[in-house]
Structure 1
Amino acid sequence: MANTKLIRRCIVFMLALSLVLSDKFVGGRRIGTKESKELDKPHKGTVKTIQGKDGDVIDCVDIYQQPAFDHPLLKNHTIQMESSSIPNVTNGESYNAELFQGWHVNGECPEGTIPIRNSRADEYYAPHTTPQVTLEQDYVAGYEYATAYMEKGHFYGANAYLNLWNPVINDGHLSTSQIWILSGTLSDTNMIEVGWQVTTLSKEPELFIFWTRDNGKVGCLNLNCPGFVQTSRRIALGSSLSPVSRYMGSQFEIGITIYKSYGNWYLRVQNEVLGYWPRSLFTNLAAVGEKVMWGGTVYSSGTKDGSHTSAQMGSGSFPNEGFGKASYIRNLQYMNGDGTFEDADKGLRTFATRPACYNISLENNKKGAYRTHFYFGGPGFSIACP
């Protein structure tokens, strides 16, 4: 009964929040377009510009003039390069782990710079929301989830390998595969998200990060506002990843590790430390994560006839189709306070908002390459998902 009352209060809060934010800001991510005149102006501190794949334009920006240092809490921040205390994770067998960002075809950013992708014309910013408010609910504010999660703990990091696909979506929709770390109550949720997403303009899945300190009112997608301090010159947030997995064919994946070190939350993609979220950005996450999640999200701005969205999650196949057909996330691990990673096999729960549309199937094979893992996803609209 207590849980039911709490859930009802959460729904009321989210409905009120959506009315306040209207169609301008939802979950900390603006929904709208960039005027073309903004696209012609390089980022502050640009020392080189690279014309990338599929029309992406990459600015190589002086590392000390990146957007992070426009944040009032980071005015006098000293960049903290992470190299010596990277925690070990259990990799298992890797399936085609070398991924590629197309802008490297035409050059690379020099030492002392970081790559920042320029916004595309008519770029659409789909919203993110706090997934905890949708647990044990049917369909809330356009979001669907298929997730595995651990809660009520002390988590200092999370790790997984995310199978890479290119789901089919429609205008105004979003499909992701990702990791969450959360802490706090509904009104002051601190959250970090990392994964790949496909948006309206995506040719291929894109690497993304997102963070918030107050359930989305203050936060940032990629480097679109100050916060995340990037240290890598090799990986561009928001730029496409390739190749992608093929149905009954070659499978590709991306390794993601989030971990707390020296008070900051660091991000490693494949074997590259991309950067970190400084401790000062957060309130609750400044200390520890209370919940970790892995899984997929679909956001829909609605359909004309009121039917369920046909946006795919993962590969677009249901979990029971298995390897080579359904999307997976494997090697689910979390980091303890002593800096070691443990398999997320005890206390792990799963949830899907509408299993007939998108579902999840948890498996555990501690002796195999996948260890704790799950298949997830689905096609969306169908006879069973009207």
Structure 2
Amino acid sequence: MGAFLDKPKTDKTNVHGEGNGIKYGMSSMQGWRICMEDSHIAEAIMSQSSPYKDWSFFAVFDGHAGHHIANRASSQLLEHLITSDEFRQMTKALEENNGTLTDSTLKLLETGIKKGFLSFDEISKSSEINKSGCTAVCAIVTPTHIIIGNLGDSRAVVAGKNDVFGTEDHKPYLEKERKRIEDAGGSVMIQRINGSLAVSRAFGDYEYKDDPRLPADQQLVSPEPDVYIMKRNIENDEFMVVACDGIYDVMSNEELADFVRDRLVVHDDLREVCDDVLDECLTKGSRDNMTMVVVCFPAAPPVNVHRKEAEEAWVAQVKTVINQFLDDTVAAEDFKKEEDMVTLKSVLDKVTAKGLLPTDLRVPTHTVTTLAQKILTQRDIKHV
């Protein structure tokens, strides 16, 4: 079986919330992997103290070779950021200028994020006994800015009405990453560090950070993030996605933005939007754990009542056809043995024969398959 299961685990963990004028939803799924190594943070209100009560914080951590560092990051990284000297200096400066982020306070914020990442990685090293690592992408949303810290190949995407922004992955074969790796005595083979690790920046992975002559940001694997600072555009900014590479393995930034935008007009629950993305990525062939947070800003597209009702009516029809087919199949005389199973293909063929494929609706390709799998599981019918 190796690193993969015989069947994907499609049960999802969800959270949602709102605050500071934004709404968010989160979904995570183990998928084909033998264990779940992702973790996350979603705080619509970053902290109860000023200025953070007006800020929001979201992060996704994608673990590899274990979940230890990813779980630790989700519980400790935010505290490392807030307690850095730069964040304390920034807090004092903001108190003196009515909370306005200036060039100087933004610089403190950028430096604080970088030092907070480095501090977290160093402290974790002293207590770390396994070889796990994790990528990290975090986003701070203030009333005026979006600040993103990225480490590895998880990614944040900010979608506006007229543009899509995405963070840059840290891959060993990129020129600036390759140079650091080679300067540290390593090599890049088959697009991996020493032919093994597929990301060039991460928390953990301490066997790649053991040269005592080099500072942390010059090791084979660096824990220093890239930091992106963007001014918010209230009229243009629609939503932001913070997600692991299990999503981006099968969707480009633009494809993801288009898909999310299309789902927002039929779902008023952001958890369902995230679920749709994960199921679509599974259908497209993603074999990884998947975790995604979607954050909606005031300019996000509203629900289209007519499309929502049309899709709900179509889903109800499909469910009726599937349940009737299963009732007939299970009741049949030749379906009595313990080893008898329904094939998923036979269920899908029945839906197709009834002419219920969504030709006139912009329904995701995974929808019929996902509905069939859920109904089979709910009815405790063995299937292949």
Asked if TM exceeds 0.5, the reply is no
Q: TM-score per shorter chain, which class?
A: under 0.3
TM score, norm. by length of structure 1: 0.25
TM score, norm. by length of structure 2: 0.25
Answer with 1 or 2: which has the greater Rg. Answer: 2
- Per residue, is there more helix in 1 or in 2? 2
- Per residue, is there more strand in 1 or in 2? 1
